[in-house]
Amino acid sequence: MYTKKVKDHFMNPRNVGSIENADAQGEIGNPQCGDIMHIDIKVENGVIVDIKFQTFGCAAAIASSSIVTELVKGKTLEEAEKITNQMVADELGGLPPAKMHCSNLAADALKKAIQNYREKHPEL
C-alpha cells in the first residue's frame, strides 16, 4: 500500500519538533480524518534555513510532513511556495488515492507558515 520512501519517512521522520523563536508558524487540520500539522520556519535573507514539524496523523501525514521539510530547507520563500500537493506525493513515490489529502495538508501547512512570515514582514 505504501512505498518504501513513505515507510522510511514515517518510521524515521526528518526535522520533527519545534523551533524556539521561530520566525513563523503554519497549522492546518482535516476534520474528516483528524490529521493536524504544525510547521515552524526560520528564515534568513529570504531563505528557509530551518524547518520543523509536529504532526498528529496517519503514516501518510507524517511522511508528507517529513518530505516537505526536506524539500524546502535551504530554498527561498518563493521556491518553497511552489511546492504543490502533487509534488509532495510524487517525491514520496506516490500515495494511495485515499491518502492524497495528507500531501495536501503538508503543502498547505507550509504555505500557511510562509503566509504568516509575510504578514509579520510586509516590507519584504
Measured in whole angstroms, the distance separating CA 17 from the mean position of its chain's CA atoms is 12
**Known catalytic membership, residue 58:** no
**CB distance 30 to 65 below 8 Å:** no
Query: Among 33, 36, 58, 59, which one carries the catalytic annotation?
Result: 33
Query: Among 102, 109, 110, 113, which one carries the catalytic annotation?
Result: 102
Distance CA(113)–CA(50), nearest Å, equals 12
Listed in sequence order, the DSSP H helices in the chain are 4-11, 59-72, 77-81, 85-91, 100-120
Question: Which residue has cell 500557511?
Answer: 112
Q: Which amino acid is at 82?
A: K
Question: Would you please indicate which residues are annotated as catalytic (active-site) residues?
Answer: 33, 102
